[in-house]
Amino acid sequence: MKNTHLLGGLTPDQFLRRYWQKKPLLVRNAIPDMQALLAREDLFSLAAREDVESRLITNFRRQWKMQQGPLNALPLTTRKNWTLLVQGVNLHDDQADQLLHQFRFIPDCRLDDLMISYATHGGGVGAHVDSYDVFLLQAHGQRRWRIGAQQDLRLREDLPLKILRHFVPEQEFILNPGDMLYLPPQYAHEGVAVGECMTYSIGFRAPTWQELGEAFLAFMADSIELPGRYSDPTLRSTRHPGAIGDQMMDAVNRTLQKLASTGADREIFLGEYLSEPKPSVSFDPHPNPLGVRQFAKAAARLGIRLHRKTRMLHRHKYMFMNGESYLPGTSDRSVLRRLADDRVLDASHLARASADLSESLYRWYLDGWLDLQTTKSFQKS
Ligand code: SIN
Ligand code: CO
């Protein structure tokens, strides 16, 4: 983390120990000379796309309304009290992706996305709580935040948004461009635009145990192998034909015990689960790919980098990319771990890749999961 202002002079560890998942932190001038990375028109164009998640929230004549994207028509920017939220901007813009990378002192498997909100004067989403931690970075104009540690999280009824019934703000701040507010999960907050403004939310993810459990059982269902079928050549006649007998129950117990997962199953499951891109994400196969030899030569000269949409993780001997798991040879492990951590590999590191790994890299290149370091093809999509 190069920017020492980002956490107001705290080291990442100090921040994590004192604030993360515990209490809010306001950082003035977290990003010095902050300027919006996208003009409002760029954001409006993203909101019109099918593959981008967006929402329009209006509070006209004291009535909350919400419309899901794609949004082809937006209210006039001269009209007060509306806001546009665009999720996952980091997937579509390199600079937004780079901004998110300033928060990689927190592992990628916890980092979710960069959401950008645009609001006209008075615009906001009402007082609410979120399930996840968030850094709210002011990018353009001003926003007034009011926050409170209330326990009463009951919501107003009959609204298209989750708005707290009784919001009790305890602190209030006006954020200017470059200022940032960290909030832990379930902390009540309300941000209202003071004039036209844009706010960037650096969002996190954490699966509920229920979601994780269901996904794990689906994973195990895909991988179990139980050959054979129940049989009972020693069956005796019964006087209780409605009963399930011990003989069958015991056989089922013995068989189902074989379904217990191993540590390796759980590691592979977790890596595949956490590296799975969101359902809206799709990769474009490379439009003019080099041949396999040309690619190897170019990579040896230029190095490679992951596409910003690629999720790559590692755990012990396993590697995970975009929902798939790999068990690379020992000599390739350090190369792949470096690629996952740095998201780029310089030519010198590629020199150590085995033939197997070079083949995988070429396949990932064809699929658009990675590219040569200098190509511009990733910049806008
Ligand atoms: C916003 O940027 O308006 C909403 C962000 C939030 O409150 O989580
Ligand atoms: Co919020």
Name all residues whose Cβ lies below 6 A of ligand 1.
83, 117, 124-125, 130, 134, 189, 191, 199, 201
Residue 368 lies in a domain: yes
Q: Are residues 147 and 20 in the same domain?
A: yes
- CATH number of the domain that 310 lies in? 3.40.366.30
H or E segment and range at residue 358? helix 355-366
Give me ligand 2 centre to Cα 130, in Å. Answer: 5
Residue 4 lies in a domain: no
Tokens at 7, concatenated: 């956490």
Nearest residue CA, atom 3 of ligand 1?
124
Q: 248, 230 in Cβ contact below 8 A?
A: yes
Q: Tell me the residues surrounding ligand 2 (ion) with CB < 5 Å.
A: 130
Measured from the alpha carbon of residue 203, the closest ligand is: 1
Q: Under DSSP, is residue 356 helix (H, G, I), strand (E, B) or coil?
A: helix
Closest atom of ligand 1 to 124 CA is 3
Percentage of the chain beyond pLDDT 70 is 98
Q: 220, 264 in Cβ contact below 8 A?
A: no
Q: 305, 333 in Cβ contact below 8 A?
A: no
CA distances from 34 to 1, 83, 140, 188 (A): 17, 21, 8, 26
Residue 213 lies in a domain: yes
CA distances from 85 to 66, 201, 278 (A): 11, 10, 17
Residue-level pLDDT at 136: 98
Q: Residues 130-154: pLDDT tens digits?
A: 999 999 999 999 999 999 999 999 9
Give me ligand 2 centre to Cα 125, in Å. Answer: 8
Q: Residues 244-280: pLDDT tens digits?
A: 999 999 999 999 998 999 999 999 999 999 999 999 9
| Rounded-to-integer distance, Cα 100 and Cα 106, Å | 11
Q: What confidence tier does 381 reach under pLDDT thresholds 50, 70, 90? A: very low
Question: Over 50: is that where the pLDDT of 379 sits?
Answer: no
Q: Residues 208-238: pLDDT tens digits?
A: 999 999 999 999 999 888 999 999 999 999 9
Q: How far apart are the first and last CA of the chain?
A: 27
Give me ligand 2 centre to Cα 117, in Å. Answer: 11
Q: Residues 56-88: pLDDT tens digits?
A: 999 999 999 999 999 999 999 999 999 999 999
One-letter amino acid of 210: Q
Nearest residue CA, atom 1 of ligand 1?
117
In this prediction the pTM is 0.93
Closest atom of ligand 1 to 189 CA is 7
Q: Are residues 172 and 213 in the same domain?
A: no
Closest atom of ligand 1 to 183 CA is 8
Domain span including residue 340: 209-217+262-381
Residue-level pLDDT at 289: 95
Say how many domains are in the chain.
2
Closest atom of ligand 1 to 83 CA is 3
| Rounded-to-integer distance, Cα 125 and Cα 137, Å | 16
Q: To the nearest whole number, what is the mean pLDDT of the chain?
A: 95
Measured from the alpha carbon of residue 83, the closest ligand is: 1
Residue 176 lies in a domain: yes
Q: DSSP string spanning 125-171?
A: --SB--SS-EEEEEEEEEEEEEEE--S---B-SS-SS--BSS----E
Give me ligand 1 centre to Cα 63, in Å. Answer: 18
Give me ligand 2 centre to Cα 313, in Å. Answer: 28
Q: Are residues 279 and 330 in the same domain?
A: yes
Residue-level pLDDT at 375: 55
Q: Are residues 150 and 213 in the same domain?
A: no
Q: What confidence tier does 1 reach under pLDDT thresholds 50, 70, 90? A: low
Nearest residue CA, atom 5 of ligand 1?
201
φ and ψ at 141, to 5 degrees? 70, -165
